[in-house]
């Protein structure tokens, strides 16, 4: 990039840098975002298709989960990466609705392009979009219905809706039940009486082998470890569990030290002292009343021997996250000073059992009285199956958690988008000024959801859009498209229900991303530095001499 000052060129950027300005920059960014939206649009809805993604190593991912597709795609365009961030945000906040958010973002930019061609300034478009988004939030709050956490029937309907069209839908009666029970187990009530759910307290493990129906919810924690010593028990009932975060072996000095041994008696005394220290460790554990030891670090073979001698089950090198979940599930404290461990630090479980699952052994810590952390073991015939089940399960857990925390839901099947289209269009007609055009385009953009649902189901999108609008104009706010029959039905009665949080987050994230992309009128891209010729160091010629052979003063 070069500028002119008094006829003298001034170099500002590195040679080879690219700069795109004005309308060209806006067009390039909008086209990139639209391409991403088009790429996953066919995955939307119960009749959506799957994508097969193959990376450079040949690993295959088959899914129709929006955020997974976008994460696996190697996207270069900065504007397209912003759309990917939309999907990631919705996934982390709401779990479901990732594809919807990206499709809406792409359509908002497509409609904005029409306004730009009419010489409408991007800041005016953004103002209109912001007004429309605020109206959308207002309408969503009005049409949302309350759902109580003890309404298990509706909670299962919400979980089922989130996996519609995914591979996990084949188990739509079985998996939602597991997701609902798991979330309800870990829900905690705050001082103000408000329920909170931390999904990280649900440990999801995948094991290839068996049927999908073998997937189970464990009222406790499952650790992907096996019992250390053949002399230890593999099953302990009424378990008293010591959670230890330090290494159970001879303590090493932190300073460099030498030990000079000159006689066999000195060597024997040294080894005896080591053994005595390790025996004392086991004595501390035994005296506390523990019959199960789960250690975050290593356990020496001598310690293993004494633990086995006292009939104590032990595993080592457990993950820190597993230790924290075990503490929540069993009520035990994680011990850092062995000498101070007492019975009050121990966790309790009805059963600790080593079982063979899918060709490997796992330790089940279950039958906990009131676990605040649980595990779900996913089974399936192939790696792709268990991976896709995990993605579906994540969506179900997140949507059920949203309902328990917020208690608000709306009808699915494009009922919300159609209602918003009509209400925002009415609102736009009441405005004065150029923002009215942007509000109108925002309303039009939301029609992409019912249109796409119809297209993916092989139905006529125009006919279905007209029928949907007619139903909503009659006051049927829950009227949506049944993609299996092509009829317009009450989605709430049909059991197609989604959390209010999902719809809100999808709209907000899509609108913010579209507005941010529209504000960009200058793209400056630096080229990557080319690697030096083979045999030449990065600084220049061998010996530190730069290319050209001239040594600096």
Rounded CA gap, 501 and 520, in Å?
29
Among candidate residues 350, 376, 396, the one where a domain is terminated: 350
pLDDT value of residue 515: 92
Q: Which residues in 403-484 belong to E strands, given as ranges?
A: 408-411, 479-481
Q: Rounded mean pLDDT of the chain? A: 85
Does 107 fall in a domain? Answer: yes
Among candidate residues 350, 373, 389, the one where a domain is terminated: 350
pLDDT value of residue 214: 86
pLDDT value of residue 544: 47
Does 369 fall in a domain? Answer: no
By annotation, the residues acting in catalysis are 65, 98-99, 395
**Cβ contacts of residue 350 below 8 Å, gap of 6+?**
237, 238, 239, 366, 367, 368, 369
Does 553 fall in a domain? Answer: no
Q: What's the CATH number where 338 sits?
A: 3.50.7.10
pLDDT value of residue 507: 93
The model's pTM is 0.81
pLDDT band at 551 (very low <50, low <70, confident <90, very high): very low
Structural domain boundaries enclosing 280: 234-251+261-350
Does 295 fall in a domain? Answer: yes
For the residues 493-498, what does the mean pLDDT come to?
A: 91
Residue 332 has pLDDT above 60, yes or no: yes
| Shared domain check, 345 and 428 | no
| Shared domain check, 341 and 420 | no
**448-456 and 461-473 helices cross at what angle (nearest 10)?**
130
Among candidate residues 315, 350, 385, the one where a domain is terminated: 350
Does 200 fall in a domain? Answer: no
Rounded CA gap, 323 and 294, in Å?
8
Q: What's the CATH number where 446 sits?
A: 1.10.560.10
| Shared domain check, 136 and 26 | yes
Cα–Cα distances (Å) from 415 to 107, 172, 240, 339, 451, in that order, read 18, 22, 53, 63, 12
| Shared domain check, 124 and 46 | yes
Tell me the two tokens of residue 82: 């912003």
**Cβ contacts of residue 282 below 8 Å, gap of 6+?**
303, 306, 307, 310, 312
The count of structural domains within the chain is: 2
Does 547 fall in a domain? Answer: no
pLDDT value of residue 276: 79
- 396-421 pLDDT, tens digit each: 999 999 999 988 999 989 999 999 99
Report DSSP state, residue 200.
Answer: G
| Shared domain check, 140 and 37 | yes
Residue 244 has pLDDT above 70, yes or no: yes
Closest CA to 203 of 187, 193, 213, 217: 217
pLDDT band at 249 (very low <50, low <70, confident <90, very high): confident
Tell me the two tokens of residue 494: 């049909």
Does 417 fall in a domain? Answer: yes
Higher pLDDT, 475 or 551: 475
| Shared domain check, 29 and 130 | yes
- 65-111 pLDDT, tens digit each: 888 888 888 888 888 888 888 888 888 888 888 899 999 999 999 99
pLDDT value of residue 152: 87
Closest CA to 341 of 242, 430, 201, 204: 242
Rounded CA gap, 238 and 194, in Å?
33
Residue 315 has pLDDT above 70, yes or no: yes
pLDDT value of residue 388: 86
| Shared domain check, 129 and 36 | yes
Phi/psi class of residue 271: alpha, beta or left (left: φ > 0; alpha: ψ in -120 to 50)? alpha
Does 13 fall in a domain? Answer: no
| Shared domain check, 419 and 310 | no
Tell me the two tokens of residue 17: 């840098």
Rounded CA gap, 505 and 91, in Å?
9
pLDDT band at 195 (very low <50, low <70, confident <90, very high): confident
| Shared domain check, 316 and 428 | no
Closest CA to 450 of 474, 432, 468, 477: 468
pLDDT value of residue 105: 93
- Long-range own/partner contacts, residues 54-62 (CB < 8 A, 24 or more apart): 60/384, 61/384, 61/387, 62/384, 62/388
| Shared domain check, 417 and 332 | no
Report whether 505 contacts 95 (CB < 8 A). no
Rounded CA gap, 458 and 460, in Å?
7
| Shared domain check, 130 and 35 | yes
Residue 358 has pLDDT above 80, yes or no: no
């Amino acid at each position: 990039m070069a500028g002119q000052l008094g006829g003298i060129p001034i170099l500002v950027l590195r040679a080879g840098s690219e700069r795109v300005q004005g309308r060209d920059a806006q067009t390039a960014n909008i086209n990139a975002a639209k391409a991403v939206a088009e790429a996953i649009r066919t995955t939307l809805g119960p009749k959506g298709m799957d994508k097969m993604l193959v990376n450079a190593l040949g690993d295959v991912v088959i899914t129709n989960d929006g955020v997974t597709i976008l994460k696996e795609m190697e996207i270069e365009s900065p504007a397209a990466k912003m759309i990917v961030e939309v999907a990631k945000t919705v996934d982390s906040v709401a779990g479901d609705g990732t594809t919807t958010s990206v499709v809406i973002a792409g359509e908002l930019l497509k409609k904005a392009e029409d306004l730009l061609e009419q010489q409408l300034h991007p800041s005016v478009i953004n103002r209109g979009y912001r007004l429309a988004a605020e109206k959308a939030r207002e309408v969503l709050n009005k049409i949302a219905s309350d759902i109580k956490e003890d309404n298990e029937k509706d909670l299962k309907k919400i979980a089922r809706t989130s996996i519609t069209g995914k591979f996990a839908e084949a188990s739509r009666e079985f998996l939602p039940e597991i997701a609902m029970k798991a979330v309800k187990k870990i829900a905690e009530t705050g001082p103000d009486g408000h329920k909170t759910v931390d999904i990280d307290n649900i440990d999801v493990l995948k094991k290839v082998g068996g049927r999908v129906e073998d997937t189970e919810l464990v009222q406790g924690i499952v650790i992907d470890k096996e019992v250390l010593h053949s002399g230890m028990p593999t099953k302990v009932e009424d378990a008293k569990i010591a959670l230890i975060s330090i290494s159970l072996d001879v303590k090493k000095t932190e300073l460099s030290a030498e030990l000079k041994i000159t006689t066999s008696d000195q060597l024997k005394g040294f080894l005896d002292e080591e053994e005595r220290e390790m025996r004392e460790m086991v004595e501390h554990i035994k005296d506390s009343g523990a019959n199960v030891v789960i250690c975050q670090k290593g356990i020496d073979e001598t310690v293993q021997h004494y633990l086995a001698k006292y009939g104590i089950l032990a595993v080592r090198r457990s993950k820190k996250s597993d230790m924290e979940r075990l503490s929540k599930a069993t009520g035990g404290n994680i011990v850092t000073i062995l000498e101070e461990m007492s019975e009050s630090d121990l966790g309790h479980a009805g059963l600790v059992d080593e079982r063979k699952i899918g060709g490997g052994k796992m330790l089940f810590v279950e039958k906990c009285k009131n676990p605040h952390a649980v595990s779900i073991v996913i089974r399936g015939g192939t790696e792709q199956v268990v991976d896709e089940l995990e993605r579906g399960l994540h969506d179900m857990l997140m949507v059920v958690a949203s309902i328990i925390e917020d208690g608000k839901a709306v009808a699915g099947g494009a009922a919300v988008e159609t209602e918003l289209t009509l209400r925002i269009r009415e609102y736009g007609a009441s405005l004065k000024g150029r923002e009215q055009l942007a509000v109108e385009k925002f309303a039009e953009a939301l029609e992409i959801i019912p249109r796409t649902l119809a297209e993916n189901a092989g139905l006529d999108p125009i006919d279905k859009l007209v029928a949907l609008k007619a139903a909503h104009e009659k006051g049927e706010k829950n009227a949506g498209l049944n993609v299996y029959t092509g009829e317009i039905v009450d989605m709430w009665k049909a059991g197609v229900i989604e959390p209010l949080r999902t719809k809100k987050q999808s709209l907000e994230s899509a609108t913010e991303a579209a507005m941010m992309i529209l504000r960009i009128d200058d793209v400056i891209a630096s080229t990557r530095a080319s690697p030096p010729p083979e045999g030449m160091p990065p600084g220049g010629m061998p010996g530190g001499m730069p290319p050209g052979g001239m040594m600096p003063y």
